[in-house]
Amino acid sequence: MEKVRFAVLGGSGLYDLPGLYQVQPVDINTPFGHTSDQIMVGRLGNDLVAFLPRHGKGHLINPTKLPVHANIWALKSIGVEQIISISAVGSLREDYAPRHIVIPDQLFDHTKRRDSTFFVEPGLVAHIGFAEPFCPKLAALCADHAEKAGATVHRKGTYICMEGPAFSTKGESNVYRKWGMDIIGMTAIPEAKLAREAEICYTTVACVTDYDVWHESEEGVTVDMIIANLNANINTVKTMITTLIPELGTLHDDCPCRHGLAGAIITAPEKIPAILRRKYSLLIEKYIKDE
Protein backbone atom coordinates (compact mmCIF):
# COMPACT_ATOMS: atom_id res chain seq x y z
CA MET A 1 0.00 0.00 0.00
CA GLU A 2 1.17 3.52 -0.76
CA LYS A 3 2.57 5.29 2.29
CA VAL A 4 -0.08 7.26 4.19
CA ARG A 5 1.66 10.18 5.92
CA PHE A 6 -1.30 11.95 7.53
CA ALA A 7 -4.01 10.74 9.90
CA VAL A 8 -7.06 12.19 11.62
CA LEU A 9 -8.50 10.67 14.80
CA GLY A 10 -12.19 11.42 15.21
CA GLY A 11 -13.60 11.90 18.68
CA SER A 12 -17.14 12.01 20.06
CA GLY A 13 -19.57 12.84 17.26
CA LEU A 14 -17.00 12.58 14.46
CA TYR A 15 -17.19 9.06 13.05
CA ASP A 16 -16.27 9.75 9.44
CA LEU A 17 -14.26 12.36 7.58
CA PRO A 18 -16.35 14.45 5.17
CA GLY A 19 -14.70 15.03 1.81
CA LEU A 20 -12.63 11.85 1.85
CA TYR A 21 -12.92 10.02 -1.50
CA GLN A 22 -11.55 6.86 -3.12
CA VAL A 23 -11.90 5.40 0.35
CA GLN A 24 -10.58 1.96 1.19
CA PRO A 25 -11.07 0.29 4.58
CA VAL A 26 -7.86 -1.10 6.03
CA ASP A 27 -7.55 -3.78 8.71
CA ILE A 28 -4.15 -4.08 10.38
CA ASN A 29 -2.93 -6.78 12.71
CA THR A 30 -0.94 -5.30 15.58
CA PRO A 31 0.85 -6.83 18.59
CA PHE A 32 -1.81 -5.06 20.67
CA GLY A 33 -4.89 -6.44 18.97
CA HIS A 34 -7.50 -4.71 16.84
CA THR A 35 -7.92 -0.99 16.25
CA SER A 36 -11.05 0.85 17.38
CA ASP A 37 -12.53 0.37 13.93
CA GLN A 38 -11.34 -0.05 10.38
CA ILE A 39 -8.91 2.62 9.27
CA MET A 40 -10.44 4.46 6.33
CA VAL A 41 -7.74 5.49 3.85
CA GLY A 42 -8.72 7.91 1.10
CA ARG A 43 -7.80 11.13 -0.59
CA LEU A 44 -8.32 14.75 0.29
CA GLY A 45 -7.21 16.53 -2.85
CA ASN A 46 -3.99 14.85 -3.89
CA ASP A 47 -3.05 13.63 -0.44
CA LEU A 48 -3.62 10.22 1.09
CA VAL A 49 -5.18 10.50 4.54
CA ALA A 50 -6.10 7.91 7.14
CA PHE A 51 -9.17 8.40 9.30
CA LEU A 52 -9.93 6.41 12.43
CA PRO A 53 -12.89 7.00 14.76
CA ARG A 54 -11.26 6.40 18.13
CA HIS A 55 -14.44 5.19 19.82
CA GLY A 56 -15.59 3.14 16.80
CA LYS A 57 -18.46 4.09 14.54
CA GLY A 58 -21.52 4.53 16.72
CA HIS A 59 -19.34 5.23 19.78
CA LEU A 60 -18.87 1.72 21.16
CA ILE A 61 -15.76 2.01 23.37
CA ASN A 62 -15.40 4.00 26.57
CA PRO A 63 -12.23 6.08 27.10
CA THR A 64 -10.50 3.70 29.51
CA LYS A 65 -10.98 0.74 27.17
CA LEU A 66 -9.79 2.42 23.97
CA PRO A 67 -7.24 0.26 22.09
CA VAL A 68 -4.86 3.20 21.81
CA HIS A 69 -1.76 1.03 21.51
CA ALA A 70 -3.27 -0.77 18.51
CA ASN A 71 -4.49 2.50 16.97
CA ILE A 72 -1.13 4.27 17.10
CA TRP A 73 0.81 1.15 16.10
CA ALA A 74 -1.43 0.58 13.08
CA LEU A 75 -1.07 4.19 11.93
CA LYS A 76 2.71 4.00 12.33
CA SER A 77 2.80 0.78 10.30
CA ILE A 78 1.18 2.43 7.25
CA GLY A 79 3.64 5.31 7.34
CA VAL A 80 1.77 7.99 9.28
CA GLU A 81 4.03 10.86 10.38
CA GLN A 82 1.45 13.36 11.64
CA ILE A 83 -1.74 12.81 13.63
CA ILE A 84 -4.46 15.41 14.14
CA SER A 85 -6.70 14.43 17.02
CA ILE A 86 -10.21 15.94 17.02
CA SER A 87 -11.59 15.87 20.56
CA ALA A 88 -14.55 17.16 22.52
CA VAL A 89 -13.49 18.91 25.75
CA GLY A 90 -14.99 20.83 28.61
CA SER A 91 -13.78 24.33 29.43
CA LEU A 92 -12.41 25.24 32.84
CA ARG A 93 -12.22 28.98 32.17
CA GLU A 94 -14.78 31.63 31.26
CA ASP A 95 -13.12 32.87 28.08
CA TYR A 96 -12.80 29.41 26.50
CA ALA A 97 -16.45 29.24 25.58
CA PRO A 98 -18.49 26.40 24.07
CA ARG A 99 -17.97 26.14 20.29
CA HIS A 100 -14.51 27.69 20.56
CA ILE A 101 -11.49 25.64 19.50
CA VAL A 102 -8.44 25.22 21.71
CA ILE A 103 -5.07 24.03 20.47
CA PRO A 104 -3.48 23.02 23.78
CA ASP A 105 0.24 23.26 24.37
CA GLN A 106 0.37 21.35 27.66
CA LEU A 107 -1.06 18.17 29.09
CA PHE A 108 -1.72 16.92 32.63
CA ASP A 109 -2.16 13.17 33.09
CA HIS A 110 -4.87 12.55 35.69
CA THR A 111 -5.78 9.06 34.48
CA LYS A 112 -5.60 6.07 36.80
CA ARG A 113 -5.85 2.79 34.89
CA ARG A 114 -4.03 3.21 31.57
CA ASP A 115 -0.72 1.89 30.24
CA SER A 116 1.04 4.91 28.81
CA THR A 117 3.90 3.14 27.02
CA PHE A 118 4.26 0.54 24.31
CA PHE A 119 7.02 -1.14 26.29
CA VAL A 120 4.90 -2.88 28.87
CA GLU A 121 6.90 -6.08 29.39
CA PRO A 122 10.10 -6.33 31.43
CA GLY A 123 13.14 -6.40 29.18
CA LEU A 124 12.82 -3.12 27.32
CA VAL A 125 12.48 0.26 29.01
CA ALA A 126 12.33 3.69 27.38
CA HIS A 127 11.95 7.13 28.96
CA ILE A 128 10.79 9.59 26.31
CA GLY A 129 11.10 13.33 26.69
CA PHE A 130 7.61 14.75 27.14
CA ALA A 131 8.12 18.34 28.30
CA GLU A 132 6.32 19.50 25.14
CA PRO A 133 3.55 16.89 24.75
CA PHE A 134 2.06 18.31 21.54
CA CYS A 135 4.00 19.01 18.36
CA PRO A 136 4.44 22.81 18.30
CA LYS A 137 4.77 23.00 14.50
CA LEU A 138 1.68 20.90 13.85
CA ALA A 139 -0.27 22.77 16.55
CA ALA A 140 0.55 26.15 15.02
CA LEU A 141 -0.52 24.96 11.58
CA CYS A 142 -3.83 23.64 12.96
CA ALA A 143 -4.48 26.93 14.76
CA ASP A 144 -3.80 28.92 11.59
CA HIS A 145 -6.23 26.88 9.52
CA ALA A 146 -8.91 26.77 12.22
CA GLU A 147 -8.83 30.58 12.27
CA LYS A 148 -9.01 30.70 8.47
CA ALA A 149 -12.08 28.45 8.72
CA GLY A 150 -13.77 31.06 10.91
CA ALA A 151 -13.33 29.54 14.36
CA THR A 152 -12.54 31.41 17.55
CA VAL A 153 -9.21 29.79 18.38
CA HIS A 154 -7.15 29.74 21.57
CA ARG A 155 -3.54 28.83 20.82
CA LYS A 156 -2.52 27.55 24.21
CA GLY A 157 -3.93 25.82 27.23
CA THR A 158 -3.34 22.92 29.57
CA TYR A 159 -5.49 19.86 28.86
CA ILE A 160 -6.15 17.71 31.93
CA CYS A 161 -6.99 14.16 30.93
CA MET A 162 -9.30 12.45 33.42
CA GLU A 163 -10.20 8.77 33.58
CA GLY A 164 -13.95 8.93 33.00
CA PRO A 165 -16.33 7.73 31.80
CA ALA A 166 -18.34 9.77 34.33
CA PHE A 167 -18.04 13.54 34.08
CA SER A 168 -16.47 15.56 36.92
CA THR A 169 -18.03 16.39 40.24
CA LYS A 170 -18.24 20.10 41.05
CA GLY A 171 -15.56 19.60 43.68
CA GLU A 172 -13.19 18.05 41.14
CA SER A 173 -13.94 20.67 38.52
CA ASN A 174 -13.18 23.52 40.92
CA VAL A 175 -9.94 21.86 42.04
CA TYR A 176 -8.80 21.52 38.41
CA ARG A 177 -9.44 25.24 37.95
CA LYS A 178 -7.36 26.04 41.03
CA TRP A 179 -4.57 23.88 39.61
CA GLY A 180 -4.51 26.11 36.53
CA MET A 181 -6.03 23.63 34.08
CA ASP A 182 -7.81 25.12 31.06
CA ILE A 183 -9.71 22.28 29.39
CA ILE A 184 -10.68 18.76 30.36
CA GLY A 185 -11.10 15.61 28.30
CA MET A 186 -10.71 11.84 28.46
CA THR A 187 -8.65 10.78 25.46
CA ALA A 188 -5.34 12.63 25.04
CA ILE A 189 -3.65 10.10 27.35
CA PRO A 190 -2.13 7.74 26.35
CA GLU A 191 -2.48 8.89 22.72
CA ALA A 192 0.05 11.70 23.02
CA LYS A 193 2.61 9.57 24.87
CA LEU A 194 2.32 6.65 22.46
CA ALA A 195 2.55 8.96 19.46
CA ARG A 196 5.81 10.33 20.88
CA GLU A 197 7.19 6.80 21.36
CA ALA A 198 6.15 6.06 17.77
CA GLU A 199 7.91 9.27 16.67
CA ILE A 200 4.74 10.71 15.15
CA CYS A 201 3.91 14.41 15.34
CA TYR A 202 0.66 14.71 17.32
CA THR A 203 -1.62 17.55 18.26
CA THR A 204 -5.15 17.93 19.57
CA VAL A 205 -7.80 20.15 18.04
CA ALA A 206 -10.03 20.51 21.09
CA CYS A 207 -13.64 21.50 20.39
CA VAL A 208 -15.12 23.10 23.51
CA THR A 209 -18.58 21.67 24.11
CA ASP A 210 -19.42 22.79 27.66
CA TYR A 211 -18.21 24.47 30.86
CA ASP A 212 -17.75 21.14 32.66
CA VAL A 213 -19.77 21.57 35.91
CA TRP A 214 -18.03 24.47 37.65
CA HIS A 215 -19.99 27.27 35.94
CA GLU A 216 -22.90 28.25 38.19
CA SER A 217 -24.89 30.08 35.49
CA GLU A 218 -24.64 27.29 32.90
CA GLU A 219 -26.39 23.94 32.91
CA GLY A 220 -24.35 20.85 33.77
CA VAL A 221 -22.61 18.91 31.06
CA THR A 222 -24.70 16.31 29.21
CA VAL A 223 -24.08 14.01 26.25
CA ASP A 224 -26.73 15.87 24.23
CA MET A 225 -24.97 19.17 24.90
CA ILE A 226 -21.61 17.75 23.86
CA ILE A 227 -22.90 16.35 20.58
CA ALA A 228 -24.91 19.47 19.71
CA ASN A 229 -21.94 21.79 20.24
CA LEU A 230 -19.49 19.42 18.59
CA ASN A 231 -21.76 19.14 15.54
CA ALA A 232 -21.76 22.92 15.33
CA ASN A 233 -17.99 22.74 14.92
CA ILE A 234 -17.96 19.93 12.35
CA ASN A 235 -18.09 22.20 9.32
CA THR A 236 -15.28 24.30 10.75
CA VAL A 237 -13.21 21.18 11.42
CA LYS A 238 -13.96 19.87 7.92
CA THR A 239 -12.81 23.12 6.33
CA MET A 240 -9.75 23.25 8.55
CA ILE A 241 -8.67 19.73 7.62
CA THR A 242 -9.30 20.28 3.91
CA THR A 243 -7.04 23.33 3.78
CA LEU A 244 -4.53 21.99 6.28
CA ILE A 245 -3.68 18.61 4.76
CA PRO A 246 -1.86 19.99 1.67
CA GLU A 247 0.45 21.97 3.95
CA LEU A 248 1.41 19.12 6.27
CA GLY A 249 4.20 18.11 3.94
CA THR A 250 5.93 21.42 4.69
CA LEU A 251 6.72 20.20 8.22
CA HIS A 252 10.30 19.02 8.14
CA ASP A 253 11.67 15.66 9.18
CA ASP A 254 13.93 17.41 11.67
CA CYS A 255 10.96 18.02 13.98
CA PRO A 256 11.99 16.68 17.44
CA CYS A 257 8.85 14.51 17.48
CA ARG A 258 10.36 12.40 14.68
CA HIS A 259 13.23 11.42 16.98
CA GLY A 260 11.29 10.78 20.18
CA LEU A 261 13.06 7.52 20.98
CA ALA A 262 16.56 8.83 20.31
CA GLY A 263 18.40 8.47 23.60
CA ALA A 264 15.24 7.23 25.33
CA ILE A 265 15.97 3.48 25.40
CA ILE A 266 17.81 2.85 28.66
CA THR A 267 17.99 -0.96 28.56
CA ALA A 268 21.40 -2.28 27.53
CA PRO A 269 21.03 -3.61 23.96
CA GLU A 270 22.53 -7.00 24.81
CA LYS A 271 19.94 -7.42 27.58
CA ILE A 272 16.89 -6.92 25.35
CA PRO A 273 15.33 -10.33 24.65
CA ALA A 274 15.19 -11.30 20.99
CA ILE A 275 11.43 -11.71 21.19
CA LEU A 276 11.07 -8.05 22.23
CA ARG A 277 13.49 -6.88 19.54
CA ARG A 278 11.25 -8.56 16.98
CA LYS A 279 7.99 -7.39 18.54
CA TYR A 280 9.05 -3.74 18.68
CA SER A 281 11.14 -3.61 15.51
CA LEU A 282 8.71 -1.12 13.97
CA LEU A 283 9.68 1.38 16.68
CA ILE A 284 13.24 0.53 17.67
CA GLU A 285 14.89 -0.95 14.58
CA LYS A 286 16.81 2.20 13.70
CA TYR A 287 18.20 2.42 17.22
CA ILE A 288 18.79 -1.25 18.07
CA LYS A 289 19.58 -3.54 15.16
CA ASP A 290 18.63 -7.21 15.29
CA GLU A 291 21.64 -9.48 15.53
Torsion sign over Cα 146, 8, 226, 194: negative
Q: What is the DSSP letter of 65?
A: G
Measuring CA to CA, which residue among 48, 100, 85, 103 is closest to residue 186? 85
**Residue-wise DSSP of 82-148:** EEEEEEEEEESSTTS-TT-EE--SEEEEE-SS----S--STT--B----SS-S-HHHHHHHHHHHHH
Residues marked as catalytic: 210, 212
At 283 the three-state DSSP class reads helix
Q: Is 10 helix (H, G, I), strand (E, B) or coil?
A: strand
Residue 195 to residues 11, 142, 225, 267: CA-CA distances in angstroms? 16, 17, 30, 20
The values of phi and psi at residue 101, to 5°, are: -115, 135
Q: Do the strands 39-44 and 82-91 form a parallel or antiparallel pair, or are they unpaired?
A: unpaired
